[in-house]
Amino acid sequence: MPTPPEAEKQHTGPEEGDQPPSMSSRDAAPPAPPRRNPCCLCWCCCCSCSWNEERRRAWRASRESRLQPLPSCEACATPSPEEVRSWAQSFDKLMHSPAGRSVFREFLRTEYSEENMLFWLACEELKAEANQHVVDEKARLIYEDYVSILSPKEVSLDSRVREGVNKKMQEPSAHTFDDAQLQIYTLMHRDSYPRFLSSPAYRALLLRGRSTSASEA
């Protein structure tokens, strides 16, 4: 008669985790410092190594805490009526305005395309970085978050730009994502920006500005 599976799993002694820790000289030696895994030279989405995982996790948490709620430098900016009207003149004026980026990002969130702005902001942050070690870490995280086909926040890039990014990731620099950033900038300009100008959120800002101007007159 075959032995039931439950019987095979019957507890016969202390589990390995219950054993007292060994006090051998080998176990007492301090752990060797982490070394970069050779597979980290591969930046493709299939790479699953855990090089410097603690530092990467800490940097990701720090970045997400700044980006998920709107950054304080942008959330605190109050646009003037003239500034709000200037956003309709060109997409560049909108994106060069901290308050404009804040409002536009909220609009993108309603269209489930906020990752485009997050990617653009991450690229701007990368271009301002001078430390090569930090550039390597940030570039890898940007790739994992916004370029990898496995990411839920993947941005839409054509095959030519994606291939170029993959090649540049072999030796990351502060400008690794320049072509990809330009493509996403163009996508937001052509696709989302016209709808933003017609959105209730932007119209409300225009009306508020006109009311403010009338009360001051």
Q: What is the pLDDT at residue 217? A: 53
Runs of H (alpha helix) within 45-199: 53-67, 72-75, 81-86, 91-95, 98-110, 114-127, 132-142, 159-168, 178-187, 193-197
Q: Which CATH architecture has domain 85-207?
A: Orthogonal Bundle (1.10)
Higher-confidence residue of 61 and 195: namely 195
Q: What is the pLDDT at residue 187? A: 98
Q: What is the pLDDT at residue 78? A: 79
pLDDT, mean of residues 164-174: 97
Length of the chain: 217
Q: Which residues of 175-201 are buried (b: 16+ CB within 10 A; e: fewer)?
A: ebbbbbbebbbebbeeebbeebeebee
Quote the distance between the C-alpha of residue 206 and its chain's center.
31
Question: Domains of the chain: which residue ranges?
Answer: 85-207
Higher-confidence residue of 57 and 24: namely 57
Q: What is the pLDDT at residue 38? A: 39
The DSSP line for 121-164 is HHHHHHHT---HHHHHHHHHHHIIIIISTT-TT-----HHHHHH
In the block, tokens 């839409």 appear at: 156
Has residue 36 got a pLDDT over 80? Answer: no
Q: Which two three-digit tokens encode residue 147?
A: 């370029």
Q: Distance (Å, rounded) from C-alpha 25 to C-alpha 28?
A: 5
Q: What is the pLDDT at residue 129? A: 96
In this prediction the pTM is 0.66
- C-alpha distance across the termini of the chain, in Å: 96
Phi and psi (nearest 5°) for 118?
Answer: -60, -40
List, for residues 178-191, the tens digit of each pLDDT value.
999 999 999 999 99
Query: Quick one: which H or E segment has residue 213?
Result: helix 200-216
Has residue 154 got a pLDDT over 90? Answer: yes
Has residue 80 got a pLDDT over 60? Answer: yes
Average pLDDT, whole number, for the chain? 77
Task: Name the band, by pLDDT with cuts 50, 70 and 90, for residue 208.
Answer: confident
List, for residues 47-75, the tens digit of each pLDDT value.
444 444 554 554 454 444 344 444 444 44
Q: Distance (Å, rounded) from C-alpha 190 to C-alpha 91?
A: 9
